[in-house]
Every structure is written in C-alpha cells, then in structure tokens.
Amino acid sequence: MIEREIAPRLKRLFGQYPFVTVTGPRQSGKTTLCRETFPGLAYVNLEAPDNREFAESDPRGFLARLGEGAILDEIQRVPDLVSYLQVVADEKGRNGLFVLTGGEHFKLSEAIGQSLAGRTGLLHLLPFTLGEREQTGASGTLDEVLYSGFYPRIFDQDIEPRQALGDYFETYVERDVRQLGEIRNVANFRRFIRLCAGRVGQLVNSGSLGSDAGVSHTTVRNWLDLLERSYIAFRLPPFYANLRKRLVKTPKLFFYDVGLAAYLIGIERADQVSSHPLRGPLFENMVVVEALKHRFNRGRSSNLSFFRDSRGLECDLLLKTAAGFGAVEIKSGATIASDFFVSLDSVARAVPDITLKAVVYGGAERQSRSAGEVVPFDDLHGFLDRCEADPEMTVFVEDRLAPAPSQGDMDTVDNVYRKHIRPTIDALDGSLKHRLASLFASFGWNDFVKPSSGGGVSGSALDTGSWERTKIQYVAKPGFSLSNERPLTLGKEYRLTNYSGARNRDFSIVVSLAWTLDSEGFSRAATINKTMLAKLDRHVRYAEVDTRSARIDSTVSAIENGVKDEIERLSGTR
C-alpha cells in the first residue's frame, strides 16, 4: 500500500470540519486515499445508477441511511445533495462527518460555494509524486518517468503506459467531455488537445492554437478552461510586479500528468524519449507539476509562477516562500554547466527578494555552489521541503527570539554592583582572610551569579577585573530584565575549613552574603552555616542607591561576630 503524502492533511481537516472535499483528475487515487484513510466510514459511489437515483429522488432518506457519516464518491453527479448535507451538518453540530470526492471540480465548486462555504476543508489530489511513484518499485530512470507518468493505475495494475494512457484519453473524450456537453466537434477537440501537448512549457498562443486546430480564439479560450476544470492541463501564470521592466503577461501551458502529454505527442516507448525534441519541455512539465503537487499535498494553493521579460530573460519557475522567492532553472541534461546560473543571476538582479537559486537537472549529483544549488530531479521533493522549511524555520526562530536585554536594567545592576556589592565584598575579604582564616586549615571563596534566565556561574565572577565579562556572558542575555518573577542574585560564599584553633575540633564554617535584585530594588541577606543573620536583612529601592550608604562597617562587624559566635558554639568554648 502506498501511503499518499496528502493523507495526514486529510486526517487533520476531517477533525476540523464537518466535511472534507477531495477533488482531482480521474484516476488520481481519490477513492483509494479516502477509503484507506477512513476505513470505518461507509462508502457510497454515486456513479452507480441505483445510488444516484436514490440520492436524487429521496435525499433525506439517502442520508438518513448513512448514519454518522460516509465517503460520498463522485459527489458532482448529484450536486443538489450538497444542500441536504449542509442541513445534516448543522443538525449534528460536529466535525468529521462526510468525505466528498469529485473529478470535475467546477461543478463541485458551484455547489460547495452555495451550501458548504466555511463548512468543508478543500484538498486537490493529483497523481503520484516522484516519491510515491518510487514506492511502487517502478523504474526511476528519467526517460521511464517521462514516458509512463504518474497515474496510480499504471503501477497498481502493472499496465503498459501506452495502453493505460490511451484508454485514459479515450475515456476522457468519449465520456467526460460528452457529459459536459460543451464540445460540438469532438474530432477538432482531439486535435486541439494533441496540439496543446506539443506546446508544453510554451507561452499560450491562442491565435496559433486556433489556426492549427481550425477553431476560433474564443473556442480556444473555452477549451483551455475546460482542460483546466477537468484536470488535464493548466496555465502557469507569469510573475508580475511593479517593476520598471516590460514583463511577459502570457501564461505557459502544462499538463497535470507528463505521461499523458508524452502519449499525446506520439511517444510509444521509453527509449524514444531521450532523442525526442520535446524531452526538455516534458522534463520542465514534470518538475513544475511536482512543485504543484508539493503545495497541494500540504493543503496549500499554488504559489508558482515563471519570469520572462521582453528581452527574453527567463526563469523557468519561481517559488514564493516566507522569505521571498526561490528561482529555479530546469535542465533535462545529466551534466551541469556553469552557464546554467547566468540567467538566474540576471533574474535575481531583476526580481526583488530572490533568496534561493537552484538548477534542477536530469543528473544524479547534488551540489552546493556559490552561484546556487544543483538538485537532481529525484531529490526534488527534499529540495521543495527545504524551500518551505528553511524560511519557515527562520520565521519560527525569529518569532521566538527574546528581546534585547534592558539597557536601563543593566545600568541599574552595574550601579548596585559598584556602589554596594563590590565595596562590601572588598571589606569582608580582608577581614575574613587576614583575621579569622588563621583559625582554620584552609580558606577559600566562590562568587556566584544566578541570572534571571536560570542557571548560574561561580568562580571570581564578581572580581573587579572580571565584572564586565560577567555582565556580558551571564547577565546581559536576550530578554533580560529585572523582575520579581525571575530576580538576579549576586553574591559570595566563604569557606573556612577544618578548624585548627584552641580546643581543636573538626568543623567548618560557610559564610554567604548575597544581593537579590528584582523590579523595584535589591535585598541583602547573609547566612552562616545556612543560618540567617536577621540583623543584616535589608531592602533598598533603586532610587535610593546613590543616596543610601552600603553600611559596610556594620555588615563586616555583624558577620565577624556571627562567625565568632559559631566558632565558640562548635568548639565548646562558649
């Protein structure tokens, strides 16, 4: 079983809407996709005369029989049923009811636009992608791909492509076109389609097409509309912007399946492709449609165009991304030439916001050059993923970047450090080191900084010579500001280890002095062996930093006395 790339999107939309409508060409795999994705739903094919007659004559009874939902295949055969589906959805008031499929999407669009607007998710399923085709085990050589195309039935049933595509064309002309009732001269229409296939990748020239097909300009336009509505061919729009250049405004013509185009121009075997004069346009057709499938399979509309100006400067494919445009040149040859990038460079100068340049070619080697990316055709899917993922990732990261640190708060931290923290530490260093430290075998210290962003750093972070580096590396982080929720703590810990004085007993003392800065001011606290020295608790508002003293002497004195009391207690000399 081939899991279609569109399946995850179909599942998601089914949970978000009462209906999901899947349109696409005949034999693109719509029925198989829906039945395999939702095996628990009832299935009704409205091509069957009895089902169609029941739905037309008694729509309420028909829908009542389906219970909690169903897959309704070929819904365009009973367009009036859509109005009754709307009533059912409104009555049940929940999502995940019906999956609707149809091939002639212009009939569906009319019915949906009138009754299901806002109630249905819309998806377009085209034939296999290159990746899906590869899963079938079919030959992946370029000429085989261009010859056989991508219709699933060819690979599911192992049918000779020439036979399958011929049958497909006959069914389309004899059944679909006649059902539409818009073609009076079927022979002329057949010739017209073959003439279109011979013009894949070219600008649409209604005059030339009409002359060769023996029909008027108006008929050409109507027939092109018909080919688009029935998912046979489509027109790729030209890039157009308010540039000071004369840009071509005529679309280019492509077929939804390159294999059908190859069949219509008379290719009967894969080995005829390599020498065929239209091999290049066929390859371009395949690449453009692959890019279109990539969009549709993610539930997105087409963002594709091409560039050409009046001087002949051209880019085969422009992909709109979140960051700008990707410019793609398409070459069917297996060898890369440096001049492939010449036109891309010129287009990049002419079109604003070209953020990516690439050549998709018929070879197998992936390269990254200074001029752009070189992409093998069988890695096109990955390249298209990156075209969308790279800008999306950039936007994702940019949206989540924290703002720059508050300069005002950084200045406040610096002021508190210089006028209160550093002078107090200098005085306490001298007192403990040169007096009380002599009673212990070893004396050490450790600065600590616990920023609002979490974590911390120790060492000599609060030394005068280290302070600027400490601020940059550990305080001035993106998004830093002084707040009550995530305050900033600066302090120092002293370790007097292994008492060696009178009445020698083995104990140690740890002194900690810390300043905690929040949104309004800073608090000072000291502990000796984790016991708070309440007399040193103090809070100073930032507006008072310059006018209130650091009370250095009283701080040092209180800590010295506290350490003395702790020595007496632990040594038993009190």
- Tens-place pLDDT, residues 199-217: 999 999 999 999 999 999 9
Query: Of 125, 143, 168, which residue sits at a domain end?
Result: 125
CA distance 309 to 307: 7
pLDDT of residue 452: 47
Q: Are 138 and 79 found together in one domain?
A: no
CA-to-CA separations, 334 to 269, 289, 291, 377, in angstroms, rounded:
20, 20, 20, 10
For residue 73, pLDDT beyond 70: yes
The mean pLDDT of 486-504, rounded to a whole number, is: 90
- 189 and 73 inside one domain: no
User: Are 362 and 437 found together in one domain?
Assistant: no
55-73: average pLDDT: 92
Which helix (H) or strand (E) segment is 191 a member of? Answer: helix 186-197
Is position 562 within any domain?
yes
**From CA 553, how far away is CA 30, in angstroms rounded?**
84
Contact of 25 with 103, CB cutoff 8 Å:
yes
Clarify whether residues 112 and 148 are in a common domain.
no
Per-residue pLDDT band at 244 (split at 50, 70, 90): low
Distance CA 78, CA 19 (A): 16
Assess if residue 223 is contained within a domain: yes
Domain match, 170 and 63 both: no
Average pLDDT, stretch 430-436? Answer: 88
Confidence check: pLDDT of 433 > 70: yes
In this predicted structure, the answer to whether residue 373 has a pLDDT above a threshold of 70 is yes
- Ramachandran sector of residue 518 (left: φ over 0; alpha: ψ -120 to 50; beta: rest): beta
The total of structural domains in the chain comes to 3
- Give yes or no for residue 175 having a pLDDT over 80: no
- The residue type found at 49 is P
Helix H, strand E, coil C: the string for 48-112 is CHHHHHHHHHCHHHHHHHCCCCEEEECHHHCCCHHHHHHHHHHHHCCCCCEEEEECCHHHHHHHH
- Average of pLDDT values for 51-63? 93
pLDDT at 142 over 90: yes
pLDDT at 455 over 70: no
- Answer yes or no: are the C-beta atoms of 257 and 234 closer than 8 Å: no
Assess if residue 269 is contained within a domain. yes
Q: From 110, 125, 140, give the residue that closes a domain.
A: 125
Highest mean pLDDT among 196-205, 429-438, 532-541: 196-205
Residue-level pLDDT at 382: 87
Q: Longest C-alpha distance within the chain, in Å?
A: 120
pLDDT of the residue at 77: 87
For residue 148, pLDDT over 50 is answered with yes
Instruction: Report whether 104 contacts 125 (CB < 8 A).
Output: no
Q: Is the confidence at residue 185, as pLDDT, over 90? A: no
User: 0.95 cut: is pTM over it?
Assistant: no
Q: What is the CA 354 to chain-centroid distance, rounded?
A: 19
Q: Give the number of other Cβ atoms within 10 Å of residue 65's Cβ.
A: 12
437 lies in the same domain as 532: yes
What the block records as the tokens of 242 is: 């308010």
Q: Average pLDDT for residues 36-63, to the nearest whole number?
A: 94
Distance CA 5, CA 311 (A): 40
Please indicate, yes or no, whether residues 233 and 163 belong to a single structural domain of this protein: yes
The answer to whether residues 474 and 461 touch, using CB atoms and an 8 Å cutoff, is yes
pLDDT confidence of residue 141:
95
Co-location of 207 and 154 in the same domain? yes
pLDDT of residue 90: 86
Same domain, 206 and 339: yes
pLDDT tens for 264-315 read 999 999 999 999 999 999 999 999 999 999 999 999 999 999 999 888 889 9
Tell me if 2 is assigned to some domain. Answer: no
The DSSP letter of residue 306 is E
The answer to whether the CB of 259 falls within 8 A of the CB of 147 is yes
Residue 473: how many CB atoms within 10 A of its CB? 14
The domain boundary residue, chosen from 334, 364, 399? 399
Please enumerate in sequence order all residues whose Cβ is within 8 A of that of 231, keeping only pairs 6 or more positions apart, or say none.
Answer: 23, 24, 25, 26, 28, 103, 105, 126, 256
| 258 within domain boundaries | yes
What CATH code is carried by the domain that includes residue 57?
A: 3.40.50.300
Both tokens of 467, joined, read 């302070």
Residues in Cβ contact with 225 at an 8 Å cutoff, skipping those fewer than 6 apart: none
Average pLDDT, the chain: 90
Query: Hey, is 410 helix, strand or coil?
Result: helix
Q: Domain range for residue 542? A: 407-571
Give the residue among 355, 480, 463 at the shortest CA–CA distance from 412: 480
| Angle of CA points 546, 550, 554, to nearest 5° | 155
Is 246's pLDDT higher than 70? no
Separation between Cα atoms, residue 13 and residue 121, nearest integer Å: 6
Looking at the fold, whether 339 and 413 belong to one and the same domain comes out as no
**What is the average pLDDT across 35-56?**
94
Of 38-52, 165-179, 328-342, 512-526, the least confident = 165-179
Contacts of residue 400, Cβ cutoff 8 Å, sequence gap at least 6: none
Assess whether 266 and 312 both reside in one domain: yes
Share of the chain above pLDDT 70, in %: 94
Tell me: do 62 and 148 sit in the same domain: no
Inter-CA distances, 178 with 24, 195, 395, Å:
19, 20, 49
Q: How many helices (H) and strands (E) does the chain have?
A: 22, 20
Residue 494 lies in a domain: yes
Q: Given a cut of 70, is residue 180 above it in pLDDT?
A: no
The mean per-residue pLDDT over the stretch 88-113 comes to: 79
pLDDT (mean) for 14-35:
94
- Per-residue pLDDT tens for 468-485? 999 988 888 888 999 999
Residue 362, CA distances (Å) to 258, 261, 336 in order: 15, 19, 9
In a domain, 1, yes or no: no
Per-residue DSSP letter, 212: H
